[in-house]
Amino acid sequence: MQSVKVSGEVRENLGKKSSKANRREGLVPAVIYGAGDPVHFTIKALDVRSLIYTPEFKLAELTVGGKTYKAIVKDYQFHPVTDALRHIDFLALQDGHPVKVQVPVVFEGTSPGVRSGGKLQVAVRRIKIKTTPENLVDKLVLNISELELGSAIRVRDIQPNEGVEIMNPAGQPVASVEVPRALRSAATLEAKAAEDGGEEAAEEAAAE
């Protein structure tokens, strides 16, 4: 599992005025909780880009006030106009203590439906799991090698590692193979031709 090393500086002053001053200096107010009292600190926005702006799930190796924590990003806020990162929450991980996180789902195998001309439609890109840090995974794998045209594969089809509990509803569709318009049109024409052929055969038999 990938981890990103990040360093922060403990905040001596809290409050809106101090936070505004921090942001003017290019720093982001942050907090880490889950290992004793919450620790408030500032962090450089550029240092957390690879944690925030990515579809991947990564750990943070966070050093603050002389202590290093293994942590995950739990929440963050952006400015509604500028989209600048305004605040970030970290959760310290402790072995044996369950956590809930969202990890990406990746597909393996080749869908027969896609080979036949269908289009893979992804409904869910991240799955919520509950596990302990020692069993934490950075993704869930879903095999689509039996996914046919017009069919869907669901959360229940994911086989998680031992110690990992999937929190999403079992029946929730994760991906499906859409039948393209051209194939639907061709199928409709074939059905109509078969129907017309059957009617003609019936009429000829009646005439005899």
pLDDT tens readout for residues 28-44: 999 999 988 899 999 99
28 contacts 86 by C-beta, under 8 angstroms: yes
Q: What is the pLDDT of residue 154?
A: 96
User: Which of 9, 7, 11 has the alpha carbon at shortest distance from 63?
Assistant: 7
Mean pLDDT of 18-23: 76
Does residue 14 surpass a pLDDT of 90? no
Q: What is the pLDDT of residue 90?
A: 96
**Given strand 173-178, what is the order of strands in its sheet?**
119-122, 173-178, 152-154
How long a stretch of residues is the chain? Answer: 208
Measured in whole angstroms, the distance separating CA 103 from the mean position of its chain's CA atoms is 5
Mean pLDDT of 12-39: 82
Does residue 207 surpass a pLDDT of 70? no
- Which structure tokens are listed for 74? 């739990």
| All domains of the chain in start order, with CATH | 3-93 (2.40.240.10), 100-181 (2.170.120.20)
User: Which of 48, 50, 34 has the alpha carbon at shortest distance from 2?
Assistant: 50
Q: What is the pLDDT of residue 202?
A: 46
| Pairing between β-strand 39-44 and β-strand 27-33 as defined by DSSP bridges | antiparallel
Q: What is the pLDDT of residue 185?
A: 58
28 burial type by CB count under 10 A (0-12 exposed, 13-18 middle, 19+ buried): buried
Q: What is the pLDDT of residue 165?
A: 96
Residue 188 identity (one-letter amino acid): T
Mean pLDDT of 113-117: 90
Confidence class of residue 201 from pLDDT cuts 50, 70 and 90?
very low
Question: Among all chains, which residue has been given the structure tokens 């005899």?
Answer: 208
* Top-confidence residue, 82 or 207: 82
